[in-house]
Structure 1
């Protein structure tokens, strides 16, 4: 309850289209992550940000951890004895530590801001120079409220790049930026939305994403190789065939098959992104624009591209999700009101309508009068057909009263 016993005003959330009110026991204003209009999920008070499909992380972690547990429990015993001078123990401890490193990379990829661009509270102001605006767009907007043109041109490294206007975020997307339909955010240097990590891959987490898939490829090859070492040791120890060695260590056979399949999948993905890094492309650009035969304005050479991805400083997030938001500030009020003109505004109007009950019979009489007035107006404005000349439009309630009167006259 706020001061003076007045409840706080409703805040419209566009992420779910519902009306909710943020109240705190200590009376403090809500934080930015509590008013966030994207589809993200926040944890630890806004310190961790995930995509809406963050539950896929449990499947991804299990696909990494379970094979390593099986390797350490059923395959590592013979490897410890195969290598002298405690080398065997090191070879067994290494995949455990490396798996922990991979999980750490996974959370660096999925639990941080990938490069979300904050939304504007209102559309940008019209530019003085409208020469780049399409004629059809100007003609459609004459006499109405100002709407930004859908496309404008910017120059990047001497080349003209067309950037689009995002109707949701009310901003012109910077070059290499795209709006993710899953997270409902504009992401800087958008690569793709990865369902395996439950997050967009953008400018602030692409480095960790590549290190994550590269590390998984190396771990699969490691387990694959030492499972073959274990099978080979069984064949020499028991002087048996390959098939009998697999029967003596079935877990080794399962891990060999599993890591072989995963290595092709993750290894192919690593090779593809290695090519993208060398040519300074994103997955979105590669599938949409196809720079084959055209000059890529972002390509600065293989060495420069690697330096940009791995040696450049990761920019700070543009969003302080834990910052407190003043609901009474003009910018926040404009943002909520302008952004609530869609589904949220409809829900708000419906909610306000529910607070003012109307009698059912009264509403029915009002609707009948509206319908009858509409029919009379159409008959007056149009050429009178035979149906309008021969019949008069009478409200439903009046028709019933006339029928009852005629029946009474007939009885008399």
Structure 2
């Protein structure tokens, strides 16, 4: 039985490569490994629920009614920053189309020339100048593009991410150019919330112990919260301090681990303004970059079906379905000079 091609419209997020999951018709983008993210939600929501249920009623009456109000506002801000970090596109770069990949391969072969047998070809790199500093752009063999400055390929999500910082399993997403500030605000506000709950848990235990009333309520849940906050405090506050240090230098975690700007061989960080305030303003108060993926765009796809099921009925015989497919793609200009203009760099 012969088969015919039927054209149907699909969202572009359904055909995007990589190892990401999409929800809400492509509006939500996360990594596939989300188990630790659910643990993060459970720890934050569970600890705050215990605090509101057992400590806040007593502290609001005997100390101040503003304690639960401030805790609620801080909790809502933490959850907003967490969800904003986890559900957004971190700055994924689209892969080259087949035509673009073929053209880049031809350019590389022409530049390298004929390599003798038994010898390794030269590395696929390009040099650009940023603030009088030479920066190497590496070629990604998976995405078939020369990665922009500070971009890197995430092995977990299998995508190149612009200004890649790291892949964070606690938020279930990569941390990159488009969600780094929200990640930092999440860690900072979570540190404040943990310190806040930890402090008033201790205050609650002390007030219960030395109160003049003969009524002694159980404080078992309070002790549990103190233990959770105590062990969480070190990691969360330490992480916030580390990223505060990176922001003051305008540096990423990936660059710090690799020692990209360690000062060896007179290699300095070309992105640093040599001023802590300017670096912080650029990272935290800079423009919000739009996503380049066009996840919710529409494209057309051919689907093979049997001729019997595709036969038009009498009601539609006068309006046959055209079999010609018009494919639409998001064309991303990978020319280094055009990217250099947007990034404020010049090719050399």
- TM (normalized to structure 2)? 0.77
- Residue 299 of structure 1 pairs with residue 297 of structure 2: no
Alignment match, 2:253 = 283
Which of 100, 103, 116 is the aligned partner of 2:76? 100
Which of 232, 237, 253 is the aligned partner of 1:262? 232
Which is worse superposed, 199-208 or 293-302? 293-302
Question: Could you tell me how far 1:100 is from its partner in structure 2?
Answer: 2.2
Asked if the contact 1:204–1:314 (Cα under 8 Å) also holds between the matched residues in 2, the reply is yes
Asked if the contact 1:178–1:188 (Cα under 8 Å) also holds between the matched residues in 2, the reply is yes
Asked if the contact 1:154–1:160 (Cα under 8 Å) also holds between the matched residues in 2, the reply is yes
Alignment match, 2:342 = none
- Residue 140 of structure 1 pairs with residue 138 of structure 2: no
Aligned positions of 1:58-137 closer than 5 A = 58-83=38-63, 87-88=64-65, 90-122=66-98, 123=101, 125=103
Asked if the contact 1:191–1:201 (Cα under 8 Å) also holds between the matched residues in 2, the reply is yes
- TM (normalized to structure 1)? 0.66
1:138/1:238 CA distance change after superposition, 3 Å: farther
Question: Could you tell me how far 1:199 is from its partner in structure 2?
Answer: 0.5
Number of equivalences: 296
Alignment match, 2:285 = 311
Partner of 2:205: helix, strand, or coil? helix
Asked if the contact 2:300–2:328 (Cα under 8 Å) also holds between the matched residues in 1, the reply is no
1:302/1:128 CA distance change after superposition, 3 Å: farther
Structure 1 runs not aligned, ≥5 long: 9-26, 333-412
Question: Could you tell me how far 1:55 is from its partner in structure 2?
Answer: 3.7
Partner of 1:154: helix, strand, or coil? strand
Distance (whole Å) between structure 1 residues aligned to residue 141 and residue 22 of structure 2: 24
Partner of 1:125: helix, strand, or coil? helix
Asked if the contact 2:131–2:270 (Cα under 8 Å) also holds between the matched residues in 1, the reply is yes
Aligned positions of 1:161-310 closer than 5 A = 161-238=135-212, 248-293=218-263, 294-300=267-273, 301-310=275-284
* Higher strand residue share: 2
1:48/1:127 CA distance change after superposition, 3 Å: closer
| 1:122-159 alpha-carbon deviations (Å, 9 max, x no partner) | 326359998995xxx533389xxxx9962221111111
Question: Could you tell me how far 1:228 is from its partner in structure 2?
Answer: 1.3
